[in-house]
Amino acid sequence: MPTALHQHHAALRERFLLHQEALIGLDLDLAQQRLRDHASALREHIRCEERLLLPRYATCNGEVPRGGSVTIFFDEHRKIERLLEQLEGLLSSLCQDPSHPQLRRGVLKLLEREILLTHLLEHHEHREESILLPTLQTELGEQGLADLLVTVFTSDGSLEPDSAAT
């Protein structure tokens, strides 16, 4: 059964695909707006995880699974944020001269960089699904985990208004 976290990850992936569709269509203004929207949603997602999920995970009893230290989750978030900044900068550069003869190659270079972000996000989501969520479920029980996730994410994968504030 998908959790609110799974659904939010899927919504984030869809936002990114919409950006990439605009990018390959060479609609740079739309691609830039969609990347901004995606980056904003992803940054808010990270803030919610760091404010609500990871502190609770850090208090779980028992041995930390290999690859499951809180530090690793925070470090991955910083890597994701740095990649987002790089992508936003590269796209901004492309938007400055959309008639440049090397535009298509610039778009290809950007798409290659975006693959790095996609792989990092896939790896991070796998870590959350194989370590974070099972550990929280063991500690809180199935209903406790579901309740915690609902405080962060709605059932349709969007952020709860209360948790997005601050």
Domain ranges of the chain: 4-164
Provide the 10 A C-beta neighbour count for residue 23: 22
Closest-CA residue to 116 (of 84, 68, 75, 73): 84
Locate tokens 């997602």: which residue?
Answer: 45
Q: What is the pLDDT of residues 104-156, one digit of tens each?
A: 999 999 999 999 999 999 999 999 999 999 999 999 999 999 888 888 876 44
Q: Which residues of 80-103 are buried (b: 16+ CB within 10 A; e: fewer)?
A: beebbeebeebbeebeeeeeeeee
Q: What is the pLDDT of residues 11-39, one digit of tens each?
A: 999 999 999 999 999 999 999 999 999 99
pLDDT for 165: 33
Closest-CA residue to 45 (of 11, 72, 20, 95): 11
Amino acid at position 110, single letter: L
Q: Which of 56-60, 74-78, 158-162 has the highest mean pLDDT?
A: 74-78
Q: What is the rounded average pLDDT for all residues in the chain?
A: 89
pLDDT for 46: 95
Tokens in use for 7? 């659904």
